[in-house]
Amino acid sequence: VITTSRPGVIIGSKGANVEKLGERLQKLTDKKIQIKIKEVKKPEADAQLIAMNVARQLVARGSFRRAMKIAVSKAMQSGAQGVKIRLSGRIGGAEIARSEWMKEGRIPLHTLRSDIDYGFATADTSFGAVGVKVWVFNGEIYDRPVKDEAGDLVRRSSRNEGLEARSL
């Protein structure tokens, strides 16, 4: 499955590019390969695409603060509830590597029900590699059941063992 913001570019005219890609992969792996293309509805709020975009701007010697600020604002405008971008490495060609980050909204990383998208990209600048990490908070997922049957079974068996130990 290939996820992309612009499926028309990958598919090509009448699916020619997909067929070529499939043939090349079959030659490499000697297995039958089926390619599916999935469109990203909001590319401004996809963490991996944001990370790759910021990394591309860093390689083109763009200002890192401006790249982060624009990416964060676009993601928030497209419906994200929170965005955090972290750059690590020789930022701006500095002699000593450091980390810079920018955050807007909220990113509850310790909440299990939060829907957080994570993306990572490396910008290979002339000064060295700069890592770009992106977290995008899209809201909380409430449709999962709070207790599952396996957890109830474990709790019941531990209670029964406790009762048996007391009776001895």
Average pLDDT estimate for 34-47: 84
Q: List, in order of start, the domains of the chain with CATH numbers.
A: 1-39 (no CATH), 43-160 (3.30.1140.32)
- The DSSP symbol for 93 reads G
The reported pTM is 0.74
User: Taking the CB of residue 145, how many other CB atoms lie within 10 A of it?
Assistant: 7
Position 2 scores a pLDDT of 78
Partners of 39 in the beta sheet? 4
Average pLDDT estimate for 106-126: 94
* For residue 144, pLDDT beyond 70: no
Higher per-residue confidence, 160 vs 33: 33
List pLDDT tens digits, range 72-101: 999 999 999 999 999 999 999 999 999 999
